[in-house]
Amino acid sequence: MNLLDTTSTVAISLYALLSTAYKSMQAVYSVPAYDSSASERPVDFDELPSVDVIVPCFNEDPGTLSDCLASIADQEYAGQLRVYVVDDGSGNRDVLRPVHETYARDPRFNIILLPQNVGKRKAQIAAIRRSGGDMVLNVDSDTILASDVISKLVPKMQNPAVGAAMGQLTASNRDDSWLTRLIDMEYWLACNEERAAQGRFGAVMCCCGPCAMYRRSALVMLLDQYESQYFRGKPSDFGEDRHLTILMLKAGFRTEYVPDAIAATVVPNRLKPYLRQQLRWARSTFRDTLLGLRLLPGLDRFLTLDVVGQNLGPLLLALSVLTGLAQVALTGTVPWWTVLMIVVMTGIRCSIVAFRARQLRFLGFSLHTFINIFLLLPLKAYALCTLSNSDWLSRGSAGSSANKGGKQAPVQSPTTESCSTEFSGRGSPLRRLNLSRDSSRLVTSDGICSDE
């Protein structure tokens, strides 16, 4: 047995042992330890808390945004509900105007038009600082909420130790392509295995952006840290959901998962946008894993195994595959043990998930193994080598072309909006907010400009 064959065999064997250990425990802990009907019981608040829903949007499709806002407007929640739609300097604001005007007629909705693109995080913060509800629900503009999402999330927040809670994500465009079907299954696994197991110990490591509720008192305490995240001296503009979750855990709050709160979000239906998204997420995961390592001694030992498995496991798999490919190229022999282990582990995992989910479609998730080995592992290696890169890699900023990396960058020369009031429908104003570091200007319905 040559050195390459030995290295590949040892690496895949260690990967199999590590993956089996943490995946088995993950499957056990993901089963609720309490009666799931508890979420149906009356909320133990003196009165239902007020909820502010914040929807930042940038160059969103009008139909997609309208569907998102309609799902929020239709929430079956008896408490006070306010919605803040933050248009982050969209270049297609003219086509979005009918959507803005439609929902501006609803007294629960506030439409905030930022004069320039400042990024999702600062757009969220603009609304958070304007609002005052007991709970804050962050919702992505391409996400549709089930009508009972808020009613499902609020009971989890009755424990004052809970700082954040997320719902279950699905792909709203699951049937678009083979890729969206795989991503939908990937979301199911991420939510109902990974997040569910972490939630067993009150330590969900990432309350995902499409649907996450926060306790305002905790959020306000962490807002400055959230706004000014840096990595190696450079501003970190993505991965806001994971970073905010880590800040909540560092502050001593619990973070929870609520599987009954269903949110459907749009996922990439082509490989190139999917890989760009995964590169951005990989960088965010590596950055905040470094930050979160300090938390592990104070958490259950399963969380340490979970973090080690998710970060060391791919490295072992990558080493095994690389040495196996080198063996084929240099010696012409196939590392059959490596191939057999990957096939067997994939088959067992997909079969178990299909049984748990009661859906045979999960047998098809075995195709994701090819994407993981030949695309995602190299991409994660590249992400690890380029952690300082903060490019969004997706859409250009409003009013300007995308830069080299597709970064959602602020407009360099902001346009000053005039102090004028826009009305629609029954006279509800479209409120304008000029975001800056120290102050903001709000145009109210009486046309008076005031500093906040």
What's residue 46's pLDDT?
67
Strand boundaries in 58-156, DSSP class E? 81-88, 109-114, 135-139, 143-145
What's residue 387's pLDDT?
81
Q: Got the DSSP string for 288-315?
A: HHHHHGGGGGGS-HHHHHHHHHHHHHHH
**Beta 135-139 vs 234-235: how paired, if at all?**
unpaired
One digit per residue, pLDDT tens: the chain, 452 residues? Answer: 588 999 999 999 999 999 999 999 999 999 887 654 444 444 556 689 999 999 999 999 999 999 999 999 999 999 999 999 999 999 999 999 999 999 999 999 999 999 999 999 999 999 999 999 999 999 999 999 999 999 999 999 999 999 999 999 999 999 999 999 999 999 999 999 999 999 999 999 999 989 999 999 999 999 999 988 777 667 677 678 999 999 999 999 999 999 999 999 999 999 999 999 999 999 888 888 888 888 999 999 999 999 999 989 999 999 999 999 999 999 889 999 999 999 999 999 999 999 999 999 999 999 999 999 999 999 999 998 888 776 665 544 433 333 333 333 333 222 323 222 232 333 333 333 333 323 333 333 322 222 33
Report which secondary-structure segment, H or E, holds 440: strand 440-443
Helix ranges (DSSP H) in 157-270: 178-189, 196-199, 216-227, 240-250
**Beta 81-88 vs 51-57: how paired, if at all?**
parallel
Q: Is 412 exposed, middle or buried (0-12, 13-18, 19+ CB in 10 A)?
A: exposed
Sole residue written with tokens 């802990």: 29
What's residue 228's pLDDT?
83
Strand boundaries in 146-281, DSSP class E? 162-171, 211-215, 230-231, 234-235, 254-265
What's residue 88's pLDDT?
96
What's residue 2's pLDDT?
84
Cβ neighbors of 365 (< 8 A, separation 6 or more) are 182, 185, 186, 189, 350, 353
Look up residue 397 and give its amino acid.
S
Report which secondary-structure segment, H or E, holds 272: helix 271-292
HSE value, Cβ hemisphere, 13 Å, CA-based, for 300: 16
- Cα separations in angstroms, 396 against 114, 131, 271, 408: 16, 28, 19, 5
Structure tokens at 429: 């104003």
Question: Which domains does the chain show, CATH number per domain?
Answer: 3-23+303-385 (no CATH), 44-301 (3.90.550.10)
Percent helix, strand and coil across the chain, each to the nearest 5 = 50, 15, 30
**Greatest CA separation for the chain:** 82
